[in-house]
Amino acid sequence: MSNIDFIREETAANIGNFMVGRLLPFRQKRSIGPFVFIDHMGPACLADHENLDVGPHPHIGLSTLTYLFEGSIFHRDSIGTAMEITPGAVNWMTAGKGVVHSERTPEYLRSKDKFLHGLQIWVALPKELEFMEPEFHHIEANAIPSWEEDSVSYKVIAGNILGYESPVPVYSPLFMIEIKTGNEARTIDLKDKLFGESGLYILQGEIKSNGHIYGEKQILITLDAHLCSFEMQPNTSVYIFGGEPFPEERFIYWNFVATDRAIIEEAKLKWQHHQFDKVPGDDGYVPLP
């Protein structure tokens, strides 16, 4: 990547009773294309008395993308969805004007030792869609476009890129790609194949670019994605995401994303007064921070 504008290490953050590595946002960069928030969950070994329990909480103005490497999460939302997500599948929830959801360890795993590892991502909605009706889509792992080329494995998790289109129903031009090498180093040349801004997250292994070596838990950000080229070392996994940034600024408070601070203030009051729809089967409540 000859035009790296930012290099960032993930930082620890607490999401209730579970520590994550926060990749985005940070002070110098609030978004990458339409992506406004990325958490790296785990890898964590949870004992038989430890479980993921993120109780019902609200969202507005965004879509959430959950992608697991290991483990399982049970999702419930105020639309009536009750869905378990397992590795390789995608949960895509679009909040629009407002949705409430919870994320918990499934009942059948709660008294067992288990692993949890994955990515939690927020994608802002275009201004004209930030008040759309909420939606939920689950895409099974075998529906995600995947292929192998020159001993390198690729997946298009979201978006339309490299000649493949993910079935995840995105609302703006974006991409999220998984690339993995085997036992040999490989040069990855994506010049003129990406667009907008892009971020490259190294989950495992190392990459080389312009004589520099970058390792695990680093995110490299470029404001001009079409110049993307780098060398991946053996047994390396990276995730590249980005797309066209929106013309308007996005404001974020807690789980709310909006083009106007007044929209967020209204959502805060609505949550405090218990005016969002409830989550069937989960009567928890996460207070406004």
- Average of per-residue pLDDT values in the chain: 89
| Rg of the chain, C-alpha, whole Å | 19
pLDDT band at 184 (very low <50, low <70, confident <90, very high): very high
Residue 198's pLDDT band (boundaries 50, 70, 90)? confident
What are the residue boundaries of the structural domains of the chain, listed by start? 6-243
Lowest mean pLDDT across 154-168, 187-201, 229-243: 187-201
pTM of the model: 0.89
| Cα–Cα distance for residue pair 191/173, rounded to 1 Å | 18
The architecture in CATH of the region 6-243 reads Sandwich (2.60)
pLDDT tens by residue, 18-56: 444 455 555 555 678 999 988 888 788 888 998 999 999
Tokens of 99: 């949705």
> 9 pLDDT band (50/70/90 cuts)?
low
Beta bridge partners of 59: 99
pLDDT of 79 higher than 90: yes
Is the CA virtual torsion 158, 107, 289, 96 positive or negative?
A: positive
Q: What are 213's two structure tokens?
A: 């070596």
Query: Is the model's pLDDT at 251 over the cut of 80?
Result: yes
pLDDT of residue 199: 85
Which of 12-26, 214-228, 234-248 is predicted with the least confidence, judged by mean pLDDT?
12-26
